Amino acid sequence: MQSALYVALSAQVALSNRLETVARNVANMNTAGYRADEVKFAELISKAGQDQVSFATGGEIYISRQSGSVNKTDNPLDLAVEGEAWFAIRSPNGALSYTRDGRLQIADDGTLRTLTGQQILGTGGQPISLDPEGGPPLITQSGEVSQSDVGVIGQIGLFLIPNDATLTRTENSAVIPDQPVIPVQTYDLHGIRQGYVEGANINPVREMTKMIMISRAFESATKMIDTSNESQEKAIRELGATS
């Protein structure tokens, strides 16, 4: 079988993986705090005879760290992170993860939770409890939470994920890193903005453009396979007729 067929097949696998990530990004372009999927490709070189043939790998999917746009809501329970830090949240089953989705609610028991029910954690990893009747909280850039009738209640934690950590996606736009996080100690570069929500870091126009380009590239790879098959069939017919 000709090397061109293998090259085209490797291209189709890589393009299929890329198309899946683009489709997933488009589906989540309105999800608060969502981080886009990206694909990193590598080249494999195989020596067939005297010639070197380059193949594309299937691609390594990773989660982009780029920030999304910050939109003003004036809701005191909406929080956006400035900088590269993340909120820490704990699900009802105790699982710990990190998110940039700062849309919060006060649960019936007074704990500050995400819209999907996870506890948002303080600087020491503890939940934050408010007075449900104490009015809207005031949250400073450093995450300090207070209510007019109660005073200072606690401090929402911000945590940095190492740049070389691998992120695994989970619910609520959250991720789980494979390395320990680092608590934010100073708030000149990283902080909280109350009354704002961070959107997904996805550019819809760019993603749709990628989808069109990938589709065209997939069609080109398909034509390459068809051409390779036709040339093999022609060679078989001609060589068979002369043998």
14-41 per-position pLDDT tens digit: 777 788 889 999 999 999 999 999 887 5
The band of 148, judged by pLDDT with boundaries at 50, 70 and 90, is confident
Whole-structure pTM value: 0.79
Please answer whether residues 6 and 55 qualify as being in contact, where contact means their C-beta atoms are separated by less than 8 angstroms: yes
The 10s digit of each residue's pLDDT in 57-115 is 666 788 999 999 999 999 999 999 999 999 999 998 889 999 999 999 999 999 999 99
Q: What is the pLDDT of residue 18?
A: 84
pLDDT value for 220: 73
- pLDDT at residue 43 is higher than 60: no
Over the chain, what HEC string results? Answer: CCHHHHHHHHHHHHHHHHHHHHHHHHHCCCCCCCCCEEEECCEEEEEECCEEEEEECCCEEEECCCCCCEEECCCCCEEEEECCCEEEEECCCCCEEEECCEEEEECCCCEEEECCCCEEEECCCCECECCCCCCCCEECCCCEEEECCCEEEEEECEEECCCCCCEEECCCCCEEECCCCEECCCCCCCEEEECEEECCCCCHHHHHHHHHHHHHHHHHHHHHHHHHHHHHHHHHHHHHHHC
The pLDDT of residue 1 is above 50: no
Average pLDDT over residues 221-235: 64
**pLDDT tens per residue, range 184-217:** 999 999 999 999 999 999 998 888 888 888 878 7
Per-residue confidence (pLDDT) for residue 152, from 0 to 100: 92
pLDDT score of 140 more than 80: yes
Q: What is the rounded average pLDDT of the residues 161-171?
A: 94
Rounded to a whole number, what is the distance in angstroms from the first to the last CA of the chain?
A: 20
| Percent of the chain whose pLDDT exceeds 90 | 55
Question: Measured between alpha carbons, how far is 45 from 38 in angstroms, rounded to an integer?
Answer: 23
- CB-CB contact of 64 with 158 (8 Å): no
Among residues 105, 110, 104, the alpha carbon closest in space to that of 80 is found at: 104
